[in-house]
Chains A and B, each alone.
Chain A
Amino acid sequence: DAMVIQNPRYQVTQFGKPVTLSCSQTLNHNVMYWYQQKSSQAPKLLFHYYDKDFNNEADTPDNFQSRRPNTSFCFLDIRSPGLGDAAMYLCATSFSYTDTQYFGPGTRLTVL
């Protein structure tokens, strides 16, 4: 089945220790998104790619970086995680910006 896959599902890291979250898709969608969701809050868009065209939301901290080496994969790098970065990180894809987004299961990040 075509899908959006996120690994790992649960990630524990130490304060300040870099961490990378991965997302892959078999939908062959052009657009990939990374969202951060904290408890009882709306998902917050961090970045999005249209193919290799990278777009950074204005309020995304510099501590967050992203890479999309090919159509299928997208990575979220957190260079120096702080306690406030503990959240669920959701990857989503869509064929175009105006099409329905399909979400992965998320990676729950814990920062110790």
Chain B
Amino acid sequence: DQQVKQNSPSLSVQEGRISILNCDYTNSMFDYFLWYKKYPAEGPTFLISISSIKDKNEDGRFTVFLNKSAKHLSLHIVPSQPGDSAVYFCAAQGGNRDDKIIFGKGTRLHILP
């Protein structure tokens, strides 16, 4: 049973527009959420995170929004650039010391010229 779900396997966005990647989770004990970016033939790279005590975290072109009541988070990239084409993994973690990160299946983002 998937605890972290990314329901869109892929997404295409025009360069310069906003990319919105969505993620849903089922475990209300998760209290820390992360986004990783992965290029082909490379390992995932940490992108941005958010604690459950916040509903928004911004870092340059990347903003993550958290809606705890809906158990939903989203990653906004604006403006989208060609180098943003990659697979984006949503991940979640519980609040205990030895809680592991649970990953979603990923969404492949294509930025169109």
Contact = CB atoms under 8 A, between A and B. Distances in A.
**Size range of the chain A interface in the assembly:** 20 to 34
Interface string B87-113: 001000100011111111110000000
Interface centre among B42, B89, B101, B104 (most CB of A within 10 A): B101
Contacts of A96: 97
A78 interface: no
Contact of A98 (B43, B44, B97, B103): B97
B100 A97 contact: yes
A108 B89 CA distance: 19
A51 to B, nearest CB: 13
Contacts of A43: 44, 89, 103
B43 A104 contact: yes
Classify the interface of chain B: helix, strand, loop or mixed: loop
A50 B44 CA distance: 21
Contacts of B89: 42-43
A70 interface: no
A62 B69 CA distance: 40
Contacts of B98: 50, 55, 97
B9 interface: yes
A92 B99 CA distance: 15
A92 B41 CA distance: 15
Interface centre among A41, A90, A96, A101 (most CB of B within 10 A): A101
5 contacts: A42-B104, A55-B98, A97-B97, A97-B98, A106-B41
10 tightest Cβ-Cβ pairs between the two chains A and B = A103-B43, A42-B103, A42-B105, A103-B44, A100-B46, A43-B103, A105-B43, A97-B98, A104-B43, A106-B43
